[in-house]
Chain A
Amino acid sequence: MDMVVQGSEWVRRNFFGSIFDAALSILALPLTAYVVYLAARWVLVTAQWSVIGDNLRVLLTGTIPVAQEGRAWVAAAMLLAMFGATLGSLFSTRHTVWHASLAILAGVAALALIWSGASAAGGALGSAGAFAAGWAIAGEWPVLARGIGLVWLVGLGAACAILSPAGTINWGGLLLSVLVTAIATLLSLPLGIVLAFGRRSGMPSLRLACTSYIEFVRSIPLISVIYWAWIVVPLVLPPNYYVQDLVRGIGGFVLFYAAFVAEYVRAGLQGIPRGQTEAAQSLGLGQIDLNFRILLPQAIRAIIPALVGNVLDIFNNVPLIFIIGLTDFLKAGQTILANPQYSGSQYEVYAFLFAAYFVIGSLISFTARRVEFAMGVGIR
Chain B
Amino acid sequence: MPDKILPTPNQRSVDAAVARATINWPKLSLSGGIGQAAVLATLLFGAAAAVLLVRHGLRMHGIPFTFSFLSQPAGFEISEGVTVESVGAWLRLAPFTAQDTNLQALICGLLNTSIVAAIAIVLSTVLGILIGVARLSSNLIIRQWSFLYVEVIRNTPLLIQLLAWYFAGVLKLPPLSQALGFGGVIASQQGVSLPSLSAAASPTWWFLLAAALLVAISHRARRAHLPLLIGYDGALLIAGFGVALYGSPVLPDFPVASRFSVTGGINISPEMTGLILAISLNSAAYIAEIVRGAIQSVAKGQWEASAALGLRPGQALRVIILPQAVRVVIPSLGNQYVSLTKNTSLGIAIGYPDLFNVYGTVANQSGRALEGILLVMAVYLGISLGISGLVNIYNRRVVSKGAR
Contact = CB atoms under 8 A, between A and B. Distances in A.
B380 A361 contact: no
B39 interface: yes
A24 B43 contact: no
Given A224-B373, A350-B167, A312 B140 contact: no
A282 B370 contact: no
A15 interface: yes
A123 interface: no
B167 A346 contact: yes
A25 B155 contact: no
Contact of A316 (B43, B54, B140, B158): B158
A282 B19 CA distance: 10
A21 B346 contact: no
Nearest to B46: A209
Contacts of B63: 235
A239 B159 contact: no
A375 to B, nearest CB: 19
B141 A235 contact: no
Interface residues of B, number: 58
Among A218, A221, A316, residue most surrounded by chain B Cβ atoms (within 10 Å)? A221
A315 B377 CA distance: 23
Among A322, A337, A354, residue most surrounded by chain B Cβ atoms (within 10 Å)? A354
A350 B160 contact: yes
A29 interface: yes
A204 B373 CA distance: 29
A346 B142 contact: no
A291 to B, nearest CB: 12
A316 B154 CA distance: 9
Nearest to A319: B159
Interface string A261-285: 0000000000000000000011110
A221 B341 CA distance: 9
Interface string B44-75: 00000000011001101101000000000000
A350 B168 contact: yes
B31 A203 contact: yes
Contacts of A330: 157, 159-160, 163
A224 B141 contact: no
Among A13, A29, A224, residue most surrounded by chain B Cβ atoms (within 10 Å)? A224
Nearest to B65: A235
Given A231-B370, A238-B60, A347-B168, A353 B160 contact: yes
Contact of A223 (B139, B156, B168, B346): B346
A319 B349 CA distance: 10
Among A219, A232, A323, residue most surrounded by chain B Cβ atoms (within 10 Å)? A219
Contact of A237 (B57, B137, B172, B381): B57
Contact of B381 (A216, A281, A361): A216
A236 B57 contact: yes
A32 B155 contact: no
Contacts of A48: none
A204 B37 CA distance: 11
A334 interface: yes
Among B20, B156, B376, residue most surrounded by chain A Cβ atoms (within 10 Å)? B156
B138 A17 contact: yes
A362 B152 CA distance: 8
A216 B35 CA distance: 26
Among B139, B345, B349, residue most surrounded by chain A Cβ atoms (within 10 Å)? B139
B251 interface: no
Interface in A224-258: 224, 227-228, 231-232, 234-239
A202 interface: yes
B160 A32 contact: no
A336 interface: no
15 contacts: A18-B138, A25-B139, A32-B141, A204-B36, A221-B345, A221-B380, A224-B376, A236-B54, A237-B57, A317-B158, A320-B346, A330-B157, A358-B155, A361-B155, A362-B151
Interface of A: 13-15, 17-18, 20-21, 24-25, 28-29, 32, 201-206, 209, 216, 218-224, 227-228, 231-232, 234-239, 281-284, 287, 312, 315-320, 322-323, 330, 334, 337, 346-347, 350, 353-354, 357-358, 361-362, 364-365
Interface of B: 17-18, 20-21, 30-31, 35-36, 39-40, 43, 53-54, 57-58, 60-61, 63, 137-142, 145, 151-152, 154-160, 163-164, 167-168, 172, 313-314, 338, 342-343, 345-346, 348-349, 356, 369-370, 373, 376-377, 380-381, 384-385
